[in-house]
């Protein structure tokens, strides 16, 4: 059976709407670009908005580079109310007074989580237990034991404290749940908390600058117009050092052969050839040998 769409390879910096799952957003973008294959570089909660890099075609081979990247968020946190999901989509499970809490107290509580901390993943998450997503178990009223995860909070800024709500800007390692961070801050303050808004502002070196919404894409009317707004497939890996090969080495590299080029200590690199451009990524051994990693079919 013929695949639907065209075999394009590119990256879309999508500014995801709230109320839409990451997978649903990716599939809408795929149809608008009439692309055969699409994926993303890390799930955003349906309630959340913001940066969702979408990979088309061969660009999906580099999505793991951003799955492991640091991520930036801006959240609005409400004190004094807890929910079963940790955000505004859930049912209220508790209320507590917030009288006497000051901005300085919130900052002190928030900054106590800077650095490496252990987080217990929420039940309302896409993590799986025996092949079943935890949120399916949670929706039926169930719960399972979750092992704490070591995550890192690199930056934390608290501002705009009004009434019982404040804004929290963070830069965190992969696997960090901002919902859980907000709940932990509320717990430390003794009143509980939940997220009322969440926006992802950064994924690795990528930001919201130039990002497009689905509404922007729909307004372009044709797949060709959408594709004109996409970024090259190597957008996800531009922070890796670049290595350019000769035509002879390009052919060998595409066959999966290792190349003794005497390279320095580069760890991982992105590789290009004179005939076909981007070839893929490679590791560099301690002897300076280029070892193919993820290759693009040409």
> How much of the chain, in percent, has pLDDT values that exceed 70?
93
DSSP state of 17: P
Q: Are 90 and 105 in contact (CB under 8 A)?
A: no
Q: Is 45 a catalytic residue?
A: yes
> What's 35's DSSP letter?
B
Catalytic residue among 6, 15, 45, 234: 45
Give ranges for CATH 3.30.2350.10 in the chain. Answer: 10-68+205-235, 71-203
Distance CA 182, CA 165 (A): 11
CATH fold of the domain at 240-295: 2.30.130
Contact of 177 with 122, CB cutoff 8 Å: yes
3-state secondary structure 201-254: EEECCEECCCCECHHHHHHCCCHHHHHCCCECHHHHHCCCCEEECCHHHHHHHH
- Kindly report, as residue ranges, where domains of CATH 2.30.130.10 are found in the chain: 240-295
**CATH code of the region 71-203:** 3.30.2350.10
pLDDT in tens, the chain (298 residues): 456 888 899 999 999 999 999 999 999 999 999 998 998 888 888 889 999 999 999 999 998 888 889 999 999 999 999 999 899 988 999 999 999 999 999 999 999 999 999 998 776 666 666 666 766 676 767 677 778 889 999 999 999 999 899 999 999 999 899 999 999 999 999 999 999 999 999 999 999 999 999 999 999 989 999 999 999 999 999 999 999 999 999 999 999 999 998 887 778 899 999 998 999 999 998 888 999 999 987 6
Domain 10-68+205-235 is found in CATH 3.30.420.40: no
């Amino acid at each position: 059976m013929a695949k639907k769409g065209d075999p394009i390879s590119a990256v879309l910096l999508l500014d995801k709407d709230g109320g839409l799952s990451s997978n649903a957003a990716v599939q809408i973008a795929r149809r608008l670009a009439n692309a055969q294959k699409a994926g993303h570089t890390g799930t955003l909660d349906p309630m959340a908005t913001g940066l969702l890099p979408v990979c088309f075609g061969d660009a999906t081979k580099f999505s793991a580079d951003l799955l492991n990247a640091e991520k930036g968020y801006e959240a609005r946190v409400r004190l004094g109310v807890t929910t079963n999901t940790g955000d505004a989509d859930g049912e209220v499970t508790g209320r507590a007074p917030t009288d006497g809490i000051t901005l300085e107290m919130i900052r002190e509580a928030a900054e106590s989580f800077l650095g490496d901390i252990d987080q217990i993943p929420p039940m309302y998450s896409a993590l799986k237990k025996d092949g079943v997503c935890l949120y399916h178990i949670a929706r039926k009223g169930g719960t399972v034991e979750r092992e704490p995860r070591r995550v890192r909070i690199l930056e934390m800024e608290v501002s705009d404290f009004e009434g019982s709500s404040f804004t929290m800007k963070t830069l965190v390692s992969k696997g960090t749940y901002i919902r859980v961070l907000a709940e932990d801050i509320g717990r430390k303050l003794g009143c509980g908390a939940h997220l009322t808004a969440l926006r992802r502002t950064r994924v690795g070196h990528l930001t919201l600058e130039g990002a497009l919404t689905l509404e922007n894409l729909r307004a372009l009317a044709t797949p060709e117009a959408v594709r004109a707004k996409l970024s090259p497939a190597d957008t996800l890996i531009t922070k890796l050092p670049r290595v350019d090969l000769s035509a002879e080495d390009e052919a060998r590299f595409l066959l999966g052969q290792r190349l003794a080029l005497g390279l320095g200590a580069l760890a991982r690199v992105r590789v290009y050839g004179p005939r076909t451009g981007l070839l893929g990524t490679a590791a560099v051994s301690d002897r300076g040998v280029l070892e193919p990693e993820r290759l693009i079919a040409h």
